[in-house]
Chains A and B, each alone.
Chain A
C-alpha cells in the first residue's frame, strides 16, 4: 500500500480537491476502490458531468442515491474484493430542494421557494452552489450512514477558495438583514428608513431596477422573505458542516497535474486548508512523464544510437539506421524535456504540501474501467 492510502487508513472521510481535469474523479474512485478491496465499505460521491465514473464502475448511470458496484464487475476485471464499493453522483438541484423541504415550516412556503426564479438561479447556476451542496451531502452521508470511508470528489472549481467559502457566502446573502430590507422594503418600511447606504432603500431598489427590471427585484424580495424563517436551521447546519471538515477523521487529498498553474492552485488551496484548520492527508501529482534518462549528462545524439542499432540483431542498413537514430535521439530528448519540467513541478508540490506525496505516472490510455482504477490505486 502506497503512502497516500496509508495516510488515509485512519480516516472516515477523504475529500479530493484540485483544478479542472487533473484526475480528481479518477483518484477519488481509486481511493474508494482500494478501501473496498481491503475489505471495507466505501462510497465515492462524485460530481462528474461526463458520467465517466458510472461507465468506469460498470454502472449504467449514477444518481443522487448510492448504488452498489456489482461484485461481478470486480470478478470481470480480475480483481478480488472482500468489501463493498458504492458510488453516487451528486445532484445539486435535488440536494438544495431536499434541504429546503427539510427546513421549510410548511408546504406553502416550500412550494413558493422552490418556484422562485432567484431560488432557481441560486440553487442551479450560482458559483459556489455546487460546492455548498457537496459539503451538505457529505454531512448527511457521514451522519446518517455507516460507511468505513466516504470519498468526496469535488467540482472543477475555478478558484479553490470557492469550495471553502461558498457556504458562508450564500448564507450571508440569504440571511442578510440588509438584503432582506433592501429588496423587501414593504415588509418593515416603518422600522427602516433612509439610513441604509445613506440613500434609502427605495432609491437603491429603483436604481437597481433600471438594470434588472422590477420583476427580478420583487422575486428577490419574495425569496429572502420566505427564507427568513428557515435561516436559523440553515445556519446551524452550515456550522456543523464546517466543523465536520476540521475533525481528525477527515483528510483532504490535493491532486495536481505536473504543470505550473495546477501546482500553484494546489499549493494555494493547501495553505488555505492549513489556515482553516482542515487536515491535509497528502498530495498526488497525476499523469507524470517518467524519467527515462536518469543519468548525468545530456541525452545521446544520433551517432551512439546508430552504432547501438547497427550492433543489434536485425538492424537495418546503415542509412536507414542513421535516419532512425536521429529520430530516436529527438524522441528521447523531447521526452526528457517533458520529464524534467514535470519533475520540477512534482518537486514543488512535494515540498510545498504537507503530508505524504505520491506521483502517478501517465498511464497508457484513459482510466476507464475498474482495472484502470486499480492500476491507478497501485500508485497511491
Chain B
C-alpha cells in the first residue's frame, strides 16, 4: 500500500514508542481527513487523554463527543468497555453491579489474559464498522493506540482468543474483529518514530511484530520531529571557527552547530530506519512551538498533506 491512500481506510491504528508523537499524529491525521470532508472519530485507548485537548477541546472521557467540525473523540477505558459489554450479555444493571463492580472481581478481570484489551478493542472496532441511516457512521476511525508492548498485546487479542476460546459470544466477537483488523482495504497500522537510536530500533522490531507476527496491514511510518537541513557541511565547517566569537555571532554560530549536529544524527537514524524497514518513511518536522496545541497539530497536518 502506498502512503497516499491511508485516509481512505476505515480504520487507522497509530502506535509507536512512548512519547514519540502518537497522539499528535493521530490528531493531525484527523485534521487532514476532516479537511477532505470526512467524518472522523479519534479513539484513545485507556490514555491520559491528549487528542481533544490538543485540538482545543475538553477531554471526552468514555463518551464520544465532537471537538471540531468533522472530528469527534473518545477515550475508551476498560471499565466502561466492560460495562457496555457486560450489560449486553447480562442485560440487568443490578446483576452487572453485583458481579462486576466488586474489587476482587475487578482484579480478577485484569488478570485474565486479554479480557480488558478485547473489550476496549471491541468497542473501537465496533465504531469502525457501525452504520447509521444506511451508511457508515464514520468515514475514518483513528485509533491512538497505546505504546509498543501494550499495542502488540491489544492488537493481538482477537488472534489469541481465536486460538484459545472454542466457542461462545467472545469467540464470535473475536472473529469479526480479526477479519476487520487484517483487511488491507479497510485497515492500516501507522507507526510513529523519532530519529533517535532507541526509537528507531523499537520501530523496526514493532513493524516486524505487527506485520510478520500478527499479519496486520502496515501503513506508513511517520518519522516525527525531524530537524530541517538549515546549513551545508561547508557552512558548518566555517561556523566552527566562529563559535568563540562575541555575541551576537558566537551564540548564533553555536546554535547553528548544535542544529547541524542534531540534523546529522537525525539523518543517520532516518537512513537506518529506512534500511531496517526496507521501505520509505514519512518525515514530519520538528517544531519550535511554545504551546503544543491546535496550531502545532495543523502544521503537522500541513506537512502530511501530499504524503498521505
Contact = CB atoms under 8 A, between A and B. Distances in A.
Tell whether A pairs with B.
yes
Interface string A259-277: 0110000000000000000
Interface string A181-221: 01100000000000001110001100110111100100010
User: Which of A183, A216, A364 has its CB near the most chain B CB atoms (within 10 A)?
Assistant: A216
Given A199-B95, A207-B90, A337-B290, A366 B197 contact: yes
A220 B253 CA distance: 65
Contacts of B247: 293, 295, 300
A327 B232 CA distance: 11
A50 B104 contact: no
B235 A324 contact: yes
A269 to B, nearest CB: 14
B107 A335 contact: no
A207 B235 CA distance: 72
A199 B97 CA distance: 11
A224 B82 CA distance: 24
Interface in B198-255: 198, 201-202, 230-231, 235, 238-239, 241-242, 245, 247-249, 251-255
B168 A204 contact: no
Contacts of A312: 242, 245, 249
5 contacts: A126-B110, A173-B107, A178-B102, A314-B238, A332-B255
Given A293-B251, A299-B251, A327-B256, 8 more contacts: A19-B18, A21-B17, A300-B247, A304-B248, A309-B249, A314-B241, A328-B253, A365-B265
A235 to B, nearest CB: 16
Nearest to A176: B104
A301 B68 CA distance: 37
B102 A21 contact: no
Q: In terms of DSSP, what is the predominant structure of the interface of chain A? A: helix
A335 B259 contact: yes
B285 to A, nearest CB: 11
3 closest Cβ pairs, A-B complex = A300-B248, A20-B18, A335-B255
Interface in A324-380: 324, 327-332, 334-338, 340-341, 364-366, 368
Interface stretch (A31-39, A117-125, A135-143, A145-153): A117-125
A242 interface: no
Given A183-B108, A197-B102, A212 B115 contact: yes
B interface secondary structure, majority: helix
B63 interface: no
Contacts, number: 156
A332 B251 contact: yes
A295 B246 CA distance: 13
Given A213-B165, A292-B255, A173 B111 contact: yes
Interface residues of A, number: 67
B108 A220 contact: yes
A91 to B, nearest CB: 16
Contacts of B108: 173, 179, 182-183, 208, 220
A305 interface: yes
Contact of A308 (B95, B168, B248, B292): B248
A304 to B, nearest CB: 5
A82 to B, nearest CB: 32
Interface in B89-108: 89-90, 95, 98-99, 102, 104-105, 107-108
Interface in A300-323: 300, 304-305, 308-309, 312-314
A367 to B, nearest CB: 11
Contacts of A212: 112, 115, 170
Given A173-B104, A210-B168, A330 B230 contact: yes
A258 interface: no
Interface in A236-265: 260-261
Contact of B288 (A52, A334, A364): A334
Contacts of B90: 207, 210
B276 interface: no
Nearest to B171: A213
A156 B18 contact: yes
B86 interface: yes
A302 B107 CA distance: 62
